[in-house]
Amino acid sequence: MKKQTSIKKIFLYVALAIGALISLFPFYWAAIGATNESGKMFSKPPVLTPGSKLMENLTNLNESIDIGRVMFNSLFTASIYTILALLISTMAAYAFAKFEFKGRNVIFGIFLLSMMIPYHATIIPLFKMMAALGWLNTYWALILPNLAYPFAIFLMRQNMLAFPTSLIEAARMDGAGEWKIFYSIVLPSMRPALAATAIFLFMFQWNSFLWPLIALSSTDMYTFPVALSSLFGLSRIDYGQVMAGVTLATVPIIIFFLVLQRQFISGMLGSAVK
């Protein structure tokens, strides 16, 4: 039995290692492409070793899109959006999960139905609204439109439904106000859900392309997806620049996930103990 168990573990680890290599290979290939010249990207056999063109590719990329400005635009809009959207979605989810009011299920159903509306169908009304407010080509146009994100509200509500209502009622009996209960009792127990929602919101805003492409008109306001798309012209494409930009655009997402991964681990361990 022990021998069979050991063999199963070996096969499991081998399968997981192969899956990890397949998942990580695109990132490795992009990083390698950032260190080589453009002509080696699609050579046969493919080049899988680091080259000596990293600084040259970064210099050319900076001349093309101004890396510092683009990084600031992306980090600023993604960070502010994540904070505000997480706050709004969490408060809305708490109201839907723990407050009894007339029409609660109807309003929540409307939120769910709004997830079925194609995003492209909202582009024209949203553009007209931003133009009327004078917010085109500003950070407000990138941050405000999707703050009340339906999926984030749905995700947080489902987690808050599992929170014991008896604890909230006990806190109310002890004289605690609703804001005190929300911030001091409910939110601390929602850390794994908050981390998951924050990662989702950050990635959504960071990778957003279509709406920033329409709402922004000057290159000094471009975010990473829009700036990288400008590298693909009608003539020669420098894939060394492109891969350097892709690598730089991936780093903040990885860092953000690594910072919040402890909340996932603590959440899983807490659930196991319970």
For residue 269, the model assigns a pLDDT of: 43
* pLDDT one-digit tens code per residue, 178-227: 888 888 888 888 888 898 889 889 999 999 999 999 999 898 999 999 99
For residue 204, the model assigns a pLDDT of: 92
Domains along the sequence of the chain with CATH: 66-230 (1.10.3720.10)
Of 2-11, 29-38, 216-225, 254-263, give the lowest mean pLDDT range: 2-11
- Residues 99 and 198: their CA atoms lie apart, in Å, by 24
Please say if the pLDDT value at position 254 is more than 80. yes
Please say if the pLDDT value at position 152 is more than 70. yes
Average pLDDT of the segment spanning 247-272? 72
* pLDDT one-digit tens code per residue, 64-104: 889 999 999 999 999 999 999 999 999 999 989 888 888 88
* pLDDT one-digit tens code per residue, 15-65: 999 998 998 888 888 888 888 888 777 777 878 888 888 899 899 889 888
First to last CA, the chain: 31
For residue 271, the model assigns a pLDDT of: 41
